């Protein structure tokens, strides 16, 4: 989106191809997964976003192949589209570390469908516990395990803590949702391992306030319909749980492998495409790879798979192409500007690392709130989300607590 918009007013024709008709604001997916927001609040139709940009058109379709020598993109196995320059930004997907069978028992959070599936499992677990006579099974239904203590796992765990301890209070007659066990597991010695140690420790304390227990230094060895097994200092342990959510691993979208097959581009261990300093593929100066799909090094450091990096790369790649169109052939060098990291841990709690400035608690949460509203695409979405957040803040409610989806009811 940022690359396409950067071409506004340029003497070029832009075609945006996406298999979805909307742009998704992934940082707020966990709020859809926990009933705080509805899917439409965090998605904006791509057509609407580009409606005023007359040199841009939008094509709904899945890119199934590339023919770099003929400069063609194949859409839905049938239609070929010619290009002079190509920007590939197909993002990333989950990685189950070679155990794809775990996905069925522990869905991850990447798409709107993932979010509504997690919401279904989360809300259904409380309903099932309410109907369950056996205390042992009730405990299994009220145990929630989140695997992966990065920002997504922390945000999801904190929001589940809020649902159990605040939102559902007084709503059930046979169970007490506050007795839920919410466990955040991570293989590293600490959660939020890319943040400074003091902020990790503060995040653990803020999670304790929401009844979330963090367990670190554990290696998950199995996940099935009855829970999670892991190694703790060499000993095998098991948590009996009916709801397990995956926030542990990320790998490049399959487009990385396709680019490798068609151009010989190098891939890193996560399947991301290793690019030149100007984000193009070696030997194919007209193909740029950006965002989560690209393995980029800026000033000696790997660029993280976060939204600001993707946005900056989008603008940079568009500028490279614009300069070429103007006849300036010298390639530039992409430099990532790190604006800091934020992770939210429920109502009025967050941690923020802005380099020399480190914040936690309410002030970090206010910074998080402001930044996320600012970047949410679409004016209408911003207003809707702001009003809902304000309402939830004062009432502790969550308005989108609906169970939908295949197999919604037992």
Ligand X SMILES: Cc1cc2nc3c(=O)[nH]c(=O)nc-3n(C[C@H](O)[C@H](O)[C@H](O)COP(=O)(O)OP(=O)(O)OC[C@H]3O[C@@H](n4cnc5c(N)ncnc54)[C@H](O)[C@@H]3O)c2cc1C
Task: Write out the catalytic residue numbers.
Answer: 155
Q: Residue 60 or 384: which CB sits closer to ligand X?
A: 60
Direct distance between the N- and C-terminal alpha carbons of the chain, in angstroms, rounded to an integer: 41
Of 305 and 378, nearer to ligand X (C-beta) is 305
Cα–Cα separations (whole angstroms), residue 383 to 50, 149, 156, 344? 20, 31, 23, 20
Identify residues 136-195 at the interface with ligand X (CB under 6 A). 151-152
CA 96 to chain centre: 15
- Does residue 89 touch ligand X according to CB under 6 A? yes
| Residue 293 beta carbon to ligand X: minimum distance, rounded to whole angstroms | 6
- Is residue 29 a contact point for ligand X (CB under 6 A)? yes
381 binds ligand X (CB under 6 A): no
Least distance in angstroms from the C-beta of 63 to ligand X: 4
Examine residue 331 and tell whether it contacts ligand X (CB under 6 A): no
Length of the chain: 410
Closest CA to 118 of 81, 80, 88, 147: 147
Quote the radius of gyration of the chain (alpha carbons, Å). Answer: 22
Using the rule CB under 6 A, give the single segment among 25-33, 36-44, 173-181, 382-390 that binds ligand X. Answer: 25-33
Part of the chain binding ligand X (CB under 6 A), chosen from 89-97, 140-148, 230-238, 385-393? 89-97
From 6, 27, 146, 160, residue interacting with ligand X (rule: CB under 6 A): 27
Binds ligand X by CB under 6 A, chosen from 187, 218, 274, 306: 306
Kindly tell me which residue out of 91, 217, 285, 340 binds ligand X, with binding defined by CB under 6 A.
91
φ, ψ at 128 (rounded to 5°): -65, -40
Kindly tell me which residue out of 19, 174, 301, 335 binds ligand X, with binding defined by CB under 6 A.
Answer: 19
Asked if residue 278 lies in contact with residue 332, where contact means CB atoms within 8 angstroms, the answer is yes
Q: Does 117 bind ligand X (CB under 6 A)?
A: no
Task: Give the CA dihedral 271, 272, 277, 283, nearest 10 degrees.
Answer: 60
Sequential DSSP letters for 216-276: ESEEEEEEETTEEEEEETTEEEEEE-SEEEE-S-EEE-THHHHHHHHH---B-TTSPEE--
Interface residues with ligand X (CB under 6 A) are 17-20, 26-27, 29-30, 62-63, 89-91, 109-110, 151-152, 253, 255, 291-293, 305-308, 310
């Amino acid at each position: 989106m940022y690359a396409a918009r950067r071409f506004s007013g340029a003497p070029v024709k832009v075609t945006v191809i996406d298999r979805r008709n909307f742009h998704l604001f992934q940082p707020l997916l966990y709020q859809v997964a926990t009933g705080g927001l509805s899917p439409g609040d965090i998605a904006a139709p791509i057509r609407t976003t580009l409606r005023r940009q007359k040199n841009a058109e939008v094509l709904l379709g899945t890119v199934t192949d590339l023919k770099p020598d003929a400069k063609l993109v194949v859409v839905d196995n049938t239609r070929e589209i010619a290009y002079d320059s190509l920007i590939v930004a197909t993002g990333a997907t989950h990685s189950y570390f070679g155990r794809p069978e775990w996905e069925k028992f522990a869905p991850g959070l990447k798409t709107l469908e993932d979010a509504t599936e997690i919401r279904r499992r989360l809300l259904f677990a409380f309903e099932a516990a309410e109907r369950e006579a056996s205390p042992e099974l009730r405990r299994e239904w009220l145990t929630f395990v989140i695997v992966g203590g990065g920002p997504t796992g922390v945000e999801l765990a904190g929001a589940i803590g809020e649902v159990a301890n605040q939102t559902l209070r007084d709503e059930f007659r046979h169970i007490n949702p506050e007795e839920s066990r919410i466990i955040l597991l991570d293989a590293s010695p600490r959660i939020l391992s890319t943040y400074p140690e003091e902020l990790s420790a503060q995040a653990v304390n803020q999670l304790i306030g929401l009844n979330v227990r963090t367990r670190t230094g554990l290696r998950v060895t199995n996940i099935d319909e009855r829970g999670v097994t892991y190694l703790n200092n060499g000993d095998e342990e098991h948590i009996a749980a009916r709801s397990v959510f995956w926030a542990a691993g990320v790998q490049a979208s399959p487009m990385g492998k396709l680019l490798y097959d068609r151009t010989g581009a190098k891939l890193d261990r996560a399947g991301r495409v290793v690019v030149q300093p100007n984000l193009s593929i070696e030997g194919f100066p007209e193909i740029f790879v950006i965002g989560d799909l690209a393995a980029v090094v800026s000033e000696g450091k790997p660029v993280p798979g976060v939204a600001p990096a993707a946005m900056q790369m989008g603008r940079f790649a568009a500028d490279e192409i614009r300069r070429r169109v103007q006849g300036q052939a010298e390639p530039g060098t992409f430099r990532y500007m790190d604006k800091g990291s934020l992770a939210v841990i429920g109502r009025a709690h967050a941690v923020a690392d802005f380099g020399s400035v480190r914040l936690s608690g309410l002030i970090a949460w206010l910074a998080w709130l402001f930044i996320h509203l600012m970047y949410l695409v679409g004016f209408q979405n911003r207003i809707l989300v702001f009003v809902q957040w304000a309402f939830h803040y004062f009432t502790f409610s969550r308005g989108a607590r609906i169970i939908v989806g295949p197999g919604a009811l037992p």
